[in-house]
Structure 1
Amino acid sequence: MDDIHVRLANHPGTLAQFGQLLGQAGISLEGGGVFATGDSAEAHFLVADGERAAQVLRAAGLHVIGQRAVLVRKLHQEQPGQLGKICARLAAHHINIHTMYSDHHNRLILVVDDVAAAAAHTLEWQA
């Protein structure tokens, strides 16, 4: 799975365009979110094929920042403090979290600077 990062204009209809373009191309959004700041919005969404999603969006003129492989983990949600615990584990190993959100299956999606190392240090949360 990949995270697709797109900068959108912050006005009505841009997110609709984004979703419609990917839907027309048969690309499903499996999780993600949009965060508006001023005149623009940062969109991060989980897709099966980030390269293909990026091609579709770029062909339509959208500003694709990039696509990256993600780490998928499942927190033990019945235990308070899980987010702090997994984030502290990554920080202890000098792994930076760039983006975090959840998918439609309540799994934690992490965009990190070293996916392999992050995976190795978070096995207890393996999805």
Structure 2
Amino acid sequence: MKDICIRDIRTAHDLARISSILGAAGVGLEGGGMWEGVARYLVHDGSAARAALLAAGIAHVDVNNVLLLELDVDEPGALGRLMAELAADGADLVAQYSDHENRKVLVMRDSSPSIAAPS
């Protein structure tokens, strides 16, 4: 799985265009959303997603590695404990969202140390 990051997204029309382009390319969205002009989606094939968007003239597309983690969503404080453990390991977190299976999708900067799933 990969995170695709698309910048300069401002309207529902922009999201409709991106979704249509990815759908036509056979790329499904497994999680994500749009916040303040930046769309992030979890996809199986980041290269195919990026190629389709670039071919359609969408210039600001990045593909990032992700760490997918199970998190007990019914346990208060679980996200805080997870983030504290990642911080202690030196992770430089860029984004965090959930996928369709209620897993946490963590996107780290390339400069972050190699982080394994916390215990």
TM-score (normalised: structure 2):
0.91
CA distance in 1, matches of 2:54, 2:79: 34
Q: Deviations over 1:78-108 (max 9, x none)?
A: 3210111010101111111100100011110
Counterpart for residue 48 of structure 1: 44
1:3 aligns with 2:3: yes
> Given residue 117 of structure 1, which amino acid in structure 2 is its aligned partner?
S
Unaligned runs of 5+ in 2: none
Sequence identity of aligned pairs in percent? 40
Higher percent of residues as helix: 1
- Verify the 8 A CA contact 1:112 1:118 in the aligned structure 2: no
Contact persistence 2:4–2:50 (CA under 8 A): yes
Tell me the secondary structure at the aligned position of residue 77 of structure 1.
Answer: coil
Note the 1:1-127 alignment, pairs <5 A.
1-36=1-36, 41-113=37-109, 117-120=114-117, 122=118, 124=119
1:65 Cα offset (Å): 3.4
Whether the aligned pair in 2 keeps the contact of 1:97 and 1:113 (CA below 8 Å) is: yes
For 1:96 and 1:116, how far apart are their aligned partners in 2? 8
Q: Give, in whole Å, the separation in 2 of the partners of 1:9 and 1:93.
A: 33
Give the AA of the match of 2:66.
V
Shift of 1:76: 1.6
Structure 1 portions without partners, runs of 5+: none
Greater share of residues in strand: 1
Deviation at 1:113, TM superposition (A): 2.9
Q: How many residues are treated as equivalent by the alignment?
A: 118
Distance 2:9 2:84 in 1: 34
Q: Is the 8 A contact 1:22 1:53 kept in 2?
A: yes
1:100 and 1:111 in contact (8 A); partners too: yes
In structure 2, the CA distance between the partners of 1:48 and 1:74, relative to structure 1 (3 Å rule), is same
Q: TM-score, with normalisation over the residues of structure 1?
A: 0.85
Decide whether the 8 Å contact of 1:8 with 1:62 is kept in 2.
no
Q: Secondary structure at the match of 1:106?
A: coil
